[in-house]
Amino acid sequence: MVNWRIGEILVRKKLIDWKQLEEALLEQEKTRESVGEVLVRRKFIPRFLLYKTLAERHAMPFADLSRIRIDEAAIRRVPQSIAQKHGIIPVEIRGRTLVIGIGDPTAAIPEAELATLAKVDKIHAVLCTPEAVRAAIAANYNGRKTGA
């Protein structure tokens, strides 16, 4: 399913219909927004379902940050400035792997540097909504100084 466009996937999953996709595509030509953003703005689909589908499209897990307890130890491994710069939230440490939440499945995350900074062997990214990532950064860092 990786080669399918997001609109086609949403139709196949019966989350939207062809008419809604056609309307969104016409509007996208005018606004230059992503089709997904048009669908969310027009209330054809909730944002979290769009991001769950995007996660599937990019072969990565989706995480609902409102239902996850973020591990304080993971937060201490990544400075707030790095989290904000790259739009990531450290979620947990699993053995020698740091799990991070990201809001953009196409973003270039400097995994090797992040792993070195966090003193882990591997970075595992899960997709979250961008709003959830920003809210989690604000809630979990709250002005404190962090670093490895």
Nearest-angstrom CA–CA distance, 91 and 81: 16
**Higher local confidence (pLDDT), 97 or 147:** 97
Condensed to tens digits (0 to 9), the pLDDT of residues 4-23 reads: 789 999 999 999 999 999 99
- For residue 116, the domain's CATH number is 3.30.300
Task: Give the β-pairing of 122-127 and 88-94.
Answer: unpaired
Higher pLDDT, 125 or 146: 125
- Report the DSSP pairing between strands 88-94 and 97-102: antiparallel
Same domain for 81 and 123: yes
Residue 26 falls within a domain, yes or no? yes
Q: What is the pLDDT of residues 56-110, one digit of tens each?
A: 999 999 999 999 999 999 999 999 999 999 999 999 999 999 999 999 998 889 9
Q: Which pTM was predicted?
A: 0.83
Residue 144 has pLDDT above 60, yes or no: no
- According to the model, what pLDDT value does residue 146 have? 45
Residues 80, 49 within the same domain: no
The C-alpha atoms of residue 85 and residue 82 are separated, in whole angstroms, by 5
In the chain, how many domains are there?
2
**Same domain membership, residue 135 and residue 80:** yes
- Domain contains 87: yes
99-135 residue pLDDT tens: 999 999 988 899 999 999 999 999 999 999 999 999 9
